[in-house]
Amino acid sequence: RQGKAQTFLARPALTKAGTAVRVQVNIADPSDVDAIDIATCDGVGLMRTEFLFGKTLPDEETQYRAYRKVLEWAGDKPVTIRTVDAGGDKPVPGFTVEEGNPFLGLRGIRLSLARLDIFRVQIRALLRAAPHGNLRVMFPMIATAEEYERAAGLFADEQAALTARGTAQRMPPLGIMVEVPSVAIAPEALAGAAFFSIGSNDLTQYVMAAARDNAAVAHLNSVRHPAVLRLIGSVTAFGRDNGIPVSLCGDAGGDPASIPALLEAGLRDLSVPPAQLAMAKAAIADISV
Ligand code: PEP
Ligand code: MG
């Protein structure tokens, strides 16, 4: 199956009926792109930046070089870089805190807004990298409009500081992950965001109350449960009605068994693990939407 799927890699993704679907890739380490031909995808739908936050916290220059490398590789194609999503299943020494219920605790944007010393370094690196490609930035684990506004305000502050110093920079479009049920259920509060990217890994675990890393409840953790699909459908409809682009970057986007249901829910824009790219395009070609 994988061998046959390879033939779809070089072509744009189209359903049997000719509906175009954008297929981007999810990456982490910038060296991930060395093994990917940019012609085979529509850009980077999710660059996870947690990999940079290992034993020591990365400085601005290290981050700038990592982001710039991926932007230059992608050329004109969009690259969506997510601000650090530490906490939950991704502990970072010196940054995340010990807590009893980490998936419901200080993770993602909550932690970044609690540690502005660390967050501002990443923001400056992103603003400086932006002129080198087609950058979009998104915030993880947004639950309220206030979080989005505070984060966007910090981008504006840092842009002003860089301008005052005469440093080259650009403000990228700022969007959000839709992965907390509060935002998926009441997205109107976040209508000011430039784009929505549905994080089906977290959205599914929070809707089903079944941890994504617990095999004992894996049978409950399905994006194809009607409750999750209905919620995704309502988010894509909201985006369509309000001119907000909606994509999906959870692992379900690369799962041939889930792709038909995701297109049915209105999605036309998926971001998948590179290893799933050929399979996802082959699965799309098999659908008569
Ligand atoms: C998600 O939650 O679906 C997602 C893409 O983000 P992560 O898996 O990094 O939490
Ligand atoms: Mg997530």
Mean pLDDT, to the nearest integer, of 137-151?
A: 98
Mean per-residue pLDDT over the chain, rounded: 96
pLDDT tens, 194-219? 999 999 999 999 999 999 999 999 99
How far does residue 250's CA lie from ligand 1's centre (Å)? Answer: 5
Instruction: Point out the ligand nearest to the CA of residue 48.
Output: 1
**Residues 119-132: pLDDT tens digits?**
999 999 999 999 99
CB of 107 shorter than 6 A to ligand 1 = no
Nearest CA to ligand 1 atom 9: 48
237-263: per-residue pLDDT in tens? 999 999 999 999 999 999 999 999 999
Q: Model confidence at 1, in pLDDT bands (50, 70, 90)?
A: low
The 3 state secondary structure assigned to the chain is: CHHHHHHHHCCCEECCCCCEEEEEEEECCHHHHHHCCHHHCCCEEEECCHHHCCCCCCCHHHHHHHHHHHHHHHCCCEEEEECCCCECCECCCCCCCCCCCHHHCCCCHHHHHHCHHHHHHHHHHHHHHHHHCEEEEEECCCCCHHHHHHHHHHHHHHHHHHHHCCCCCCCCCEEEEECCHHHHHCHHHHCCCCCEEECHHHHHHHHHCCCCCCHHHHHHCCCCCHHHHHHHHHHHHHHHHHCCCEEECCHHHHCCCCHHHHHHCCCCEEEECHHHHHHHHHHHHCCCC
Residue-level pLDDT at 54: 83
Instruction: Enumerate residues with CB within 5 Å of ligand 2 (an ion).
Output: 179, 199, 202
pLDDT value of position 90: 84
Whole-number Å distance, alpha carbon 166 to ligand 1 midpoint, is 36
pLDDT of residue 289: 73
Q: Is residue 199 lining ligand 1, measured as CB closer than 6 Å?
A: yes
Burial tier of 110 (Cβ tally within 10 Å: 0-12, 13-18, 19+): middle
Tell me if 281 CB under 6 Å of ligand 1: no
Separation of CA 7 and ligand 2 centre (Å)? 31
Q: Is the CB of 200 under 6 A from ligand 1?
A: yes
Residue 252 CA, closest ligand 1 atom number? 3
Is the CB of 58 within 6 Å of ligand 1? no
Instruction: Kindly state the tokens that stand for 212.
Output: 């994504």
pLDDT confidence tier of residue 286, bands split at 50, 70 and 90: very high
- Ligand 2 centroid to residue 251 C-alpha, Å: 10
Is residue 212 within 6 Å of ligand 1 at its C-beta? no
At 273, the pLDDT band (50, 70, 90 cuts) reads: very high
Position 111 confidence tier, pLDDT thresholds 50, 70, 90: very high
Q: What is the pLDDT of residues 11-21, one digit of tens each?
A: 999 999 999 99
Quick check: CB of 172 below 6 Å from ligand 1?
no
Candidate from 48, 111, 180 with most ligand 1 atoms within 8 A of CB, to mutate: 48
Distance 34 CA to ligand 1 centre (A): 22
